[in-house]
Amino acid sequence: MIQSIIRYVHGYVKVRVEGYSPERFLNLCSHHQIYIWGLTPCGNAYEMYMSLKGFRKLRPIVRKTHTRVVLTGRAGLPFFLQRYRKRKLFFISFFLCLGLLYLYSSFIWDIHFEGNEKWTNETLLEFLETKEVTPHMPKKQVDCAQIVKEIRKEYDDIVWVSASIDGSRLRIQIKENEDTFREDGEDADPKSASSDSTPPEVPKTESSQAQPKEPKDLVATKDGVITSIITRTGVPMVHVGDTVAKGDILVSGRIEVMNDAGEVIDYQYQTSDADIFADTQMAYEDTISTKYKKKYYEKSQRRLYYLKIGSRILSVGTLKNDYKEWEMYTKEHQLKLGENFYLPVSYGSKIVRSYTSKEKPHTKEDLQKQLSENFSLFSKDLEEKDVQMKDNSVKIHIGQDTATAKGILYLNERITQEKDTEIMQIENKTSDGTEETQE
In a 13 Å sphere around the CA of 164, the CA atoms on its Cβ side amount to 14
Per-residue pLDDT at 189: 42
Which of 159, 164, 172, 163 lies closest to 201 in space, CA to CA? 159
Confirm if 270 and 255 have CB atoms less than 8 A apart. Answer: yes
Q: Provide, for the chain, the percentages of residues in helix, strand and coil under a 3-state DSSP scheme, each rounded to the nearest 5.
A: 25, 45, 30
Label residues 320-345 b or e (16+ Cβ within 10 Å = b). Answer: eeebeeeeeeeeeebebeeeebbbbe
Residue type, 313: I
DSSP string over 214-244: PPEEEEESS-EEEEEEEEEESEE---TT-EE
Q: Which residues, at least 6 apart from 376, have a Cβ–Cβ distance to it below 8 Å?
A: none
C-alpha span between 222 and 277 (Å, rounded): 11
Helix and strand totals (H; E) in the chain? 10, 27
Beta strand residue intervals within 234-340, DSSP E: 235-236, 243-244, 249-252, 254-258, 264-269, 273-289, 291-309, 312-317, 326-337
Per-residue pLDDT at 393: 92
As a residue count, the chain comes to: 439
C-alpha span between 105 and 99 (Å, rounded): 10
Centre a 10 Å sphere on the Cβ of residue 211 and count the other Cβ atoms it contains: 8
Per-residue pLDDT at 439: 52
Judging by DSSP bridges, how do beta strands 169-176 and 110-114 pair with one another?
A: parallel
Q: Which domains does the chain have, with CATH numbers?
A: 2-83 (3.30.70.340), 107-195 (3.10.20.310), 291-361 (no CATH)
C-alpha span between 359 and 370 (Å, rounded): 18
- Taking 70 as the pLDDT cut, the residues of the chain under it are 177-213, 338-341, 427-439
Per-residue pLDDT at 178: 54
Centre a 10 Å sphere on the Cβ of residue 286 and count the other Cβ atoms it contains: 15
Per-residue pLDDT at 202: 38
